[in-house]
Amino acid sequence: MTDDRIPPALRTEALEELLVERGLVDPAVMDGFVRTYENDVGPLNGARVVARAWTDPEFRGWLLRDGTAAIASLGFTGPQGEHMVVLEQTGQVHHVVVCTLCSCYPWPVLGLPPSWYKDPAYRARVVREPRTVLAEMGLDVPAGRRIEVWDSSAEVRYLTLPRRPAGTAGMTEDELAALVTRDAMVGVAEIGPAGAVAS
């Protein structure tokens, strides 16, 4: 039984020290793993996938048919990204992603999960009352637009393909990628023309 009065960060540090002390974990390997996902892997990878889909209809079709292969073609593979499914946001349906059991998350395209994604309140409530949770996070989904909640698991990770903002027809892939946010790829936000969250 854990003591809830001890902050999770301190419990994690104590566990890591114990594993290192017993020779079960190499701290250099752990530091390298964390550095990789903090600095080299992150939402920018997913943003590049989205920007390519917005500018290349053939890639977009492939991405929606076989997300794993299409994403891998851009070099984004690895643990937590072995089986990817991409969900396209439309005017009729809004997709939002959660992992109700733990915090399964597509690390190769989104990096490390944000704290709110791992929070038990988000994981429980977004399934029961998604429209309310999204509104609390700043996204008001119109009543006529259906919300579908997708539960990630050890077998499959989800990424949403946000709608391309109006007024971006002349933008390059790099410029488009700069507009894409992590939250939009999870489905808790939409993208405005200048990269601002739009409700």
Q: What is the pLDDT of residue 68?
A: 96
Q: Which of 41, 175, 187 is nearest to 109 (CA)?
A: 41
User: One of 73, 103, 152, 153 is an active-site residue; which one?
Assistant: 103
Assess whether 104 carries a catalytic annotation.
Answer: yes
User: One of 102, 152, 153, 199 is an active-site residue; which one?
Assistant: 102
Of the given ranges (82-86, 107-111, 133-137, 192-196), which has the lowest mean pLDDT?
Answer: 192-196
Q: What is the pLDDT of residue 194?
A: 55
Assess whether 102 carries a catalytic annotation.
Answer: yes
User: One of 99, 115, 153, 199 is an active-site residue; which one?
Assistant: 99
Q: Which of 77, 68, 52 is nearest to 180 (CA)?
A: 52
Q: Take residue 29 and report the two structure tokens written for it.
A: 């390997």
What are the structural domains, with CATH classification, of the chain? 8-38 (no CATH), 42-198 (3.90.330.10)
Assess whether 73 carries a catalytic annotation.
Answer: no
Per-residue pLDDT band at 80 (split at 50, 70, 90): confident
Of the given ranges (63-72, 98-107, 122-131), which has the lowest mean pLDDT?
Answer: 98-107
Distance of CA 159 to the CA centre of its chain: 6
- Residue 34, classed as helix, strand or coil, is helix
Task: Name the amino acid, one letter, at 127.
Answer: V
Q: Compute the distance between CA of residue 26 and CA of residue 34 in angstroms, rounded to an integer.
A: 13
User: One of 104, 115, 153, 199 is an active-site residue; which one?
Assistant: 104
Q: What is the pLDDT of residue 122?
A: 96
Backbone angles phi, psi at 84, to 5 degrees: -105, 135
Q: Take residue 28 and report the two structure tokens written for it.
A: 């250099």
Query: Which residue(s) pair with 86 in the sheet?
Result: 159
Assess whether 99 carries a catalytic annotation.
Answer: yes
